[in-house]
Amino acid sequence: MNGIVLIVISLVGFAVVLVGLGLIAIKMGVPLSALVGEDGDKSGEKGRVDVSVYEQCDAFLSEAELNFYRLLVKVLAHPSDPQGSPQAVVMSKVSVSDLVKVRKGLDRSERSSAFNRIKAKHVDFVLCEPVTMRVMCVIELDDKSHRSEKVQRRDALMDSIYAAAGLPILHVDCRRGYSMQEVGGMIREAVGGSV
């Protein structure tokens, strides 16, 4: 008898919770599945995401970045075969966390703090070896915003992180025109003459 009473109480409790969720869903104007997840899966999001708030960006690169990208491609064309493989692959807007990682052996707090310093940052350009895609050099195109004290502090921190990770960093002032020879020389100096 006690087992039956326990089952009835459990079923009534479940029904009350289900009705409560239904009332909440009606009040919020969302389907019940949004509260408990699709197909009753409670591990999903609590509600649907309104994807209509997103739209494509006008351009992946700014005009200045695109002009510099085109120059890099020309500078890195193989001298003996301009139509062939480049001396380096140019990547743009790369996440810093794809370039450096937090070393092992730190406690959770130190690891989290270190990762938080890099997780939302990206670099303007990365040069990679064509065959291995090993990073050769990081390039920052510095516009006038890099003159502010706050950005200079951030740049100094990032430069020290790249140095600690063994990644050469090259800062290039953003301007209307560049000399291919000058930029080529800066890149050769940064990567140790390998391009």
How do residues 118-174 score in pLDDT, each as one tens digit?
999 999 999 999 999 999 999 999 988 878 888 899 999 999 999 999 999 999 999
Summary mean pLDDT of the chain: 82
Q: How many whole angstroms separate alpha carbon 152 and alpha carbon 142?
A: 10
Mark out the alpha helices in 31-101 (DSSP H runs).
Answer: 32-36, 63-75
Please name the residue that has the structure tokens 């100094």: 156
Q: How many whole angstroms separate alpha carbon 56 and alpha carbon 126?
A: 24
| pTM for this model (two decimals) | 0.70
Tokens read off for 55:
């739209």
- Give CATH for domain 63-191: 3.40.1350
The continuous run of DSSP H or E covering 193 comes out as: none
Q: Which candidate, 14, 20, 46, places its Cα nearest to that of 33?
A: 46
Answer for the pair 155, 185: CB distance below 8 angstroms, yes or no. no
Q: How many whole angstroms separate alpha carbon 109 and alpha carbon 45?
A: 27
| Type of residue found at 5 | V
Residue ranges per structural domain of the chain: 2-51, 63-191
Please name the residue that has the structure tokens 């009606």: 26
The answer on pLDDT for 83 being more than 80 is no
Higher pLDDT, 135 or 78: 135
pLDDT tens-digit profile of 41-75?
444 556 788 888 989 988 899 999 999 999 999 99
